[in-house]
Amino acid sequence: MSHTTAYRVGPIVLAPDVGPRHAWSFLVAAFLSIGLMTFIAVGQTYILNVNLGIPESQQGGITGELIAWTEVVALLLFIPAGIVVDRISRRAVYAAGFLLLAITYAVYPYAQSVGDLFLYRCSVYALGFVAITAALSTVLVDYPAERSRGKLVALVGFLCGLGVAVIQGFGTLPTVFTGLGMNDLEAGRATHFIIAGLCIGAAVLVAVGLKPGVPAHVRHRPSIRELFVSGFAEARNARVLLAYSAAFIARGDQAVNAFFLILWGTLAGKAAGMPPADALKAGTLMFVSAQVAALVWAPILGPLLDRLDRVTALAICMLLAAIGNLSLLMLADPLAGYAIIFFILLGIGQVSVFLSAQSLIGQEAPAQKRGSVLGAFNLSGAVGILLITWIGGHLFDAIHPSAPFVVVGSINILLMLASLYVRLINAAKASA
């Protein structure tokens, strides 16, 4: 393949030496990635209620602490994962991540205690989560030509949202299996085995379909020491620092939506007298509603990201996210028919911040240090998940289920103001 050949996938122009097969494989992998990682929210909620019988008053705090401790492990691994991605292979890291997720889902429904859940999440799942996140972020930056970056980010965001909606829909399978005669415990295990099988299929896909090795411009690579410090050093660029801050809230927002929206709906369903499988289905559908809104909005937002200054776009997206999160203060009954309006606003805000943050860091990350910069970007996201879910989980139990979303919405407002400040500084420098 010529180093100057630029292929297309629809309207998206690919970087030189990235072929259509590589791009299509990545798009399918993106569809599967976030959905398979976040299905643990559905499985965990089911296990807390069915396998372990945890009192409802404790589930928010336990959920927050499980996520937080997983992120503590992720904090230690994101920079090393970025170095491995830069020096060895994007696709090998990606495939290993899916295989680790498969192991997680095979053992998770056999947990006998909350301690078992901590063990599985903080070891096998955390490794898989870091590997997939590092590889997905890096390939997303590698594959598009700069003029198509926003379009590919939007398409991947759409596919991630679609994948989450489809795969979270597997949370309704326990109802199907119990209808076929299984008990609640067997139904949960069968559902997890199906998800584990999807993870194995995804591992094979990326191992075969993605471009091998690392891009040509990375082969003449910096030393490991330089790679290790480069992610933090690049934060001297205000736009990179802003992107890191955006990752903090974008990933925190995703985690809050995935875990606490499902938990809120499940507990509301149980309070309304639903059996466990039906209550989980109600909570899952709340989250799926938000994800459907996100995937419809993503292709609308993508072209706008290519036309606007990406810091300006980030400010607008933070405003949308603040509206979505803070609006839940007015939601009295999450199972009411009108509640879907709130979930639509929530989904639009979440995907807007995710896409605008990815677009900004994709533009600003230096080519030779891309994996390491994205490692620091993901590290910031891990800190966001850790702090927001730990605080939000306890507020969920102590105050109200909407409390974690209010925390996120408040940070959205602060980062909107920070984005406007950076935009004004850049404008002043340009006119000087």
Give the pLDDT confidence score for residue 223 in this predicted structure.
53
Close Cβ partners of 114 (under 8 Å, ≥ 6 residues apart):
52, 54, 62
CATH no. for residue 254? 1.20.1250.20
pLDDT lower than 70: segments of the chain: 1-5, 213-232, 367-371, 430-432
Considering the domain boundaries, does residue 7 fall inside one?
Answer: no
Tens digits of residue pLDDT in 181-209: 899 899 989 999 999 999 999 999 999 99
Considering the domain boundaries, does residue 396 fall inside one?
Answer: yes
Close Cβ partners of 89 (under 8 Å, ≥ 6 residues apart):
212, 213, 214
Give the pLDDT confidence score for residue 2 in this predicted structure.
44
H/E run at residue 352:
helix 340-364
Please state, in angstroms and rounded to a whole number, the distance separating the CA atoms of residues 145 and 264: 42
CB atoms within 10 A of CB 69: 16
Considering the domain boundaries, does residue 273 fall inside one?
Answer: yes
Considering the domain boundaries, does residue 356 fall inside one?
Answer: yes
How many structural domains compose the chain? 1
| Tokens (6 digits) for 93 | 């890291």
Considering the domain boundaries, does residue 1 fall inside one?
Answer: no
Considering the domain boundaries, does residue 3 fall inside one?
Answer: no
Tens digits of residue pLDDT in 89-116: 788 899 999 999 999 999 999 989 989 9
Domain that holds residue 320: 15-212+224-427
Q: What is the pTM of this model?
A: 0.69
Amino acid at 71: E
Considering the domain boundaries, does residue 270 fall inside one?
Answer: yes
CB atoms within 10 A of CB 119: 14
Considering the domain boundaries, does residue 6 fall inside one?
Answer: no
H/E run at residue 13:
strand 12-13
